[in-house]
Structure 1
Amino acid sequence: MDNSGGGKVPWEDLKYIFGEIMYGGHIVNDFDRLVANEYLNFFMKDELLDETEMYPYAEDEKGVSFMSPSPTIFEKYIEHIDINIINDTPIAFGLHSNAEIDFRTQQSVAMFKTILDLQPRESVSGGGAGSVQQIVEAVLNDMLEKFGEKLFDVDDLVRNLDEQGPYQNVFIQEMDVMNVLLHEIRRSIKELQLGFAGELTMSDAMEGLMMSLYNNNVPHTWAKLAWPSLRSLSSWTVNFLDRILQLEEWTNNPAELPKVTWLSGLIYPRSFLTAICQVSAQKNQWELDKLITMTDVTKKMKIDAITAPSRDGAYIIGLHMQGARWDIGTVMVEKSRPKEMFSPMPVINVRAVTLEKAGGQGGTYQCPVYATEARGPTWIFNAQLKTKSPAARWVLAGVALITDVS
């Protein structure tokens, strides 16, 4: 690393070797590759050899800093690290200090869940108010009370529709999936009740359902027919009822798009975004495959503040920002407040634009939107959010929008 000879360090070549060949080529997820490349862009530059700050975007962090040493021998680098890095901190990776709280919380939840799953199950049918069977029977009765009569008459709705456009197709698809899920819930509940009554032999599937309900977990057979979620069963049930309510409200006036759509309440939110593009393509005679969605964040936090549907897209709500916060005053992404893990987003207008109009937008962070905090395969789309800070700052901070916060 001694640059005293005057030769220029080939940073671009090094970034390509590390980012595309040695390490980056093994990263499958596009967003993970973006993070890796931003780290390389931050570190691999001439300033690295001139005692620069090594913690990304840590200028406003008090008492947290790590400066790069002047070019020296390998042993001196190790000594510099041992002396100057005392404690681990998320700030070293460009993350907010809240990231450690979130990490420790997830660890604790996973540990307690494991402990709960390892509890003995010998009291399945024993007496006493706390037996597994009695607790599960109470849950079954509660679920039947909530969902026993729920069902959407999709055929009747379709017959009464004068025109079935893209938005109608989305909501009808949602109701079809809801009906399948509701049928499975009722079927499995009644089957388990027959097992408790001695009229059916308890199968492995019934045993698994029973223990899931007992541990307040969403049963696997229900989860695979539903939406991605990290919620407990009790929270999932409340969320399920809210989703049904949104569809029931839409059936009151199925010919019209709701003023604001609760995107988090859709099983297939991507279908809704596709419908926005389809409607715009039909209206403006655009080619569908040359359209993408763009987002404009309003200053309205409540649905009631919206008086009419969007004229050039659709209003959505239900997103929460993780890793940073949305400042409704500046209408930009800002640094998180201490211990504030999620920041609710205002109503957002999603509209379709052509690829030509979408290109070259400065001062914008392409924020990934995920269904759950697990992120990964639950990605939905990218939202365009205004920012004064470099977009790389929010990439390294892991800033994302989550539709279903558990």
Structure 2
Amino acid sequence: MGSDPTPSIETTAKRMECICSSISMGQGQEIHARKLVDKALREGMWVLLQNCHLGLEYMVEIMEQFSELEKDPEKVHNDFRLWITTEVHPKFPITLLQMSIKYTCEPPSGVKAGLIRTYDSMSQDFLDYSDSPYYLPLIYTISFLHTVVQERRKFGPLGWNIPYEFNSSDWLASCLFVRNHLDGLEPGRNVSWTTVRYMVSEVQYGGRVTDDYDTRLLITFCRVWFSDALFTGEFQFFKGYRILKFKNIPEYLDEFEKMKTVDPPQVYGLHSNADITYQRNMTDELLDTILSIQPKESGGGSGETREASVYRQSKEMLDKVPPNFDPHEVREKALRDSLDSIYDAKVPKIWLRSSWSSSTLGFWFTEFLERNIQFSTWCFEGRPSSFWMTGFFNPQGFLTAMRQEVTRAHKGWALDMVSLHNEVTKLPYEEIKMPPPEGVYVHGLFLDGAGWDRRNSRLAESTLKVLYTAMPVVHVYAINSTAPKDPKLYQCPVYKKPCRTGLTFITPLWLPTNKNPDHWILRGVAMLCDIK
């Protein structure tokens, strides 16, 4: 994912003076692929079949054809090669994989490795294309951006809400656009930065992006980096990462070799704590893999069996379930999954269908009890002074109801002209004794990617080794205006869980900051209702 081997294959074929023809697989492409392979077998061409996970039936045919050719190798030209590119697919023919030489093409790790791969695959003619003084800095900036957008994926939701498959075709399309743009410039005219930013951030790379806040991040990268400052000798992406301008590719490669192998997260716009997040995610993934391959049967030792352990845990939870709850019986089909999940301290899948996700069964059950307390208090003791956002199945509906309540309280207000606004108080939840005159108090929110300056009530850099910062109580209310908010405020998205997707998105909140909001966009700052 994230690296297209096509340019490397085509460059290798050109270097070896071989003809290379490619076909992208899909519906109806089998006929053309069959003719091309037969022709290549006779004439000694190279054939590249792309996206073969979309043509699995033809892959079975290829497997059978090559099995027959093994019996009569004289029918195969010595120069014939068949290249197959595919994504991981559970139904891809295993025998075909065993017959093939496997080559895993992944994006390189780090700025140094990324730039080396980009410039190593570039021809000298490509570098010599234009004499414009803008050409080489722009190509280098696009190459640096290409490495950064790929590397941010390893930081999980801090880097991108959705991990996109950016590859070399995005880089090439952006470079070709810059070439055409510079060719069309009249002598003495500057680069149209609005055009370049739009094409790179919203068309070439942005064409893959489906999340609004990821689009905002790409636009911010281009706004910060693509400007006239690019052509000054003082410009740096980060301390020690400056623009390189050489005439020959070997000079670039020699300079790249002097770079650090491991880059600080600040190069990608993130805080140094992001590296802790990355290492923790890798560790969690490793431990989950180890746990998943453990034997599921009971051992022959004298210790507690799996069944006895699950029975004990289930009984402990049932004893803590509040009255008036009716636990249902688990059917036989889901019994094995529930048994394995409870033993591994995971939430059974059958529970997740009608509840919420959580990292462990203990956290899930604690949240279940806390949700029950909030709703019981609200129903039988009156409206709470402050609401725990995590305790709602539909927080968006709760905030919409608050907007309706405020709209009805003001004569002449229309719901479609009312928007949400907020103010971060200096009070912790324990000091909230009364609800606000209008709107609601909300507690239990955490900042991810930034800290909070309680004295000045504004965003601040995260404390080292502190990944999440608990927020004071936030006053959310409605105003009779749909005008844009103050551009000096940072629009901070709020999510239910650490997994930032459209399904977990709740609403944006606007936070004061003494820095440019672009800084926090690059940091990937968001609010989370739950960090477990």
User: Does the aligned pair in 2 maintain the 1:49–1:70 contact within 8 Å?
Assistant: no
Partner of 1:295: 422
- CA–CA distance in 1 between the matches of 2:253 and 2:200? 21
Give matches, 1:105-120, under 5 Å: 105-120=280-295
- CA–CA distance in 2 between the matches of 1:277 and 1:349? 13
1:18 aligns with 2:200: yes
- CA–CA distance in 2 between the matches of 1:84 and 1:108? 27
- CA–CA distance in 1 between the matches of 2:248 and 2:133? 8
Amino acid paired to 1:262:
W
Q: Deviations over 1:86-136 (max 9, x none)?
A: 422211111001011011101101210111111001218x67433110111
1:374 aligns with 2:374: no
Please give the secondary structure, in 2, of the residue aligned with 1:321. Answer: strand
Deviation at 1:360, TM superposition (A): 4.1
Partner of 1:83: 258
Deviation at 1:362, TM superposition (A): 3.5
> What 5-or-longer segments of structure 1 have no aligned partner?
59-63, 152-181, 193-202
What's the TM-score, normalizing by structure 1?
A: 0.80
- CA–CA distance in 1 between the matches of 2:273 and 2:457? 22
The percentage of counterpart residues that share the same residue type is 29
User: Does the aligned pair in 1 maintain the 2:441–2:473 contact within 8 Å?
Assistant: yes
Partner of 2:390: 264
Equivalent residue for 2:362, pick from 214, 234, 242: 234
Structure with the greater relative contact order (CA < 8 A, sep ≥ 6): 1 or 2? 1
User: Does the aligned pair in 1 maintain the 2:202–2:215 contact within 8 Å?
Assistant: no
User: Does the aligned pair in 2 maintain the 1:321–1:401 contact within 8 Å?
Assistant: yes
User: Does the aligned pair in 2 maintain the 1:50–1:69 contact within 8 Å?
Assistant: no
- CA–CA distance in 1 between the matches of 2:427 and 2:401? 24
Indicate how the Cα distance of structure 1 residues 341 and 90 shifts in structure 2: closer, same or farther if over 3 A, else same: same
- CA–CA distance in 1 between the matches of 2:358 and 2:317? 19
Amino acid paired to 1:342:
Y
Amino acid paired to 2:230:
L
Indicate how the Cα distance of structure 1 residues 3 and 110 shifts in structure 2: closer, same or farther if over 3 A, else same: closer
Amino acid paired to 1:131:
T
User: Does the aligned pair in 2 maintain the 1:49–1:69 contact within 8 Å?
Assistant: no
1:210 aligns with 2:339: yes
Indicate how the Cα distance of structure 1 residues 291 and 253 shifts in structure 2: closer, same or farther if over 3 A, else same: same
Deviation at 1:76, TM superposition (A): 4.2
- CA–CA distance in 2 between the matches of 1:305 and 1:65? 47
Give matches, 1:5-404, under 5 Å: 6-55=188-237, 64-69=239-244, 75-123=250-298, 128-147=302-321, 149-151=322-324, 183=326, 186-188=327-329, 191=330, 203-227=332-356, 229-254=357-382, 257-285=383-411, 286-301=413-428, 303-356=429-482, 358-376=483-501, 377-404=503-530
- CA–CA distance in 1 between the matches of 2:268 and 2:485? 28
User: Does the aligned pair in 2 maintain the 1:321–1:344 contact within 8 Å?
Assistant: yes
> What 5-or-longer segments of structure 2 have no aligned partner?
1-131, 136-186
Q: Number of aligned pairs? A: 348
Deviation at 1:223, TM superposition (A): 1.4
User: Does the aligned pair in 2 maintain the 1:95–1:397 contact within 8 Å?
Assistant: yes
User: Does the aligned pair in 2 maintain the 1:2–1:72 contact within 8 Å?
Assistant: no
Bigger-Rg structure (1/2): 2
- CA–CA distance in 2 between the matches of 1:248 and 1:346? 24
Q: Deviations over 1:172-208 (max 9, x none)?
A: xxxxxxxxxx54xx213xx47xxxxxxxxxx331101
Q: Deviations over 1:245-295 (max 9, x none)?
A: 1112112334xx311111122222112111110101101132112222111
Deviation at 1:83, TM superposition (A): 2.5
Please give the secondary structure, in 2, of the residue aligned with 1:270. Answer: helix
Deviation at 1:74, TM superposition (A): 5.3
- CA–CA distance in 2 between the matches of 1:379 and 1:146? 31
Please give the secondary structure, in 2, of the residue aligned with 1:187. Answer: coil
- CA–CA distance in 1 between the matches of 2:233 and 2:390? 46
- CA–CA distance in 1 between the matches of 2:246 and 2:521? 29
User: Does the aligned pair in 1 maintain the 2:244–2:252 contact within 8 Å?
Assistant: yes
- CA–CA distance in 2 between the matches of 1:288 and 1:72? 61
Please give the secondary structure, in 2, of the residue aligned with 1:351. Answer: strand
Deviation at 1:73, TM superposition (A): 5.4
- CA–CA distance in 1 between the matches of 2:226 and 2:189? 15
Partner of 1:195: none
- CA–CA distance in 1 between the matches of 2:302 and 2:463? 48
Deviation at 1:36, TM superposition (A): 0.7
What's the TM-score, normalizing by structure 2?
A: 0.62
CA RMSD of aligned residues (A): 2.1
User: Does the aligned pair in 1 maintain the 2:347–2:358 contact within 8 Å?
Assistant: no
Partner of 2:88: none
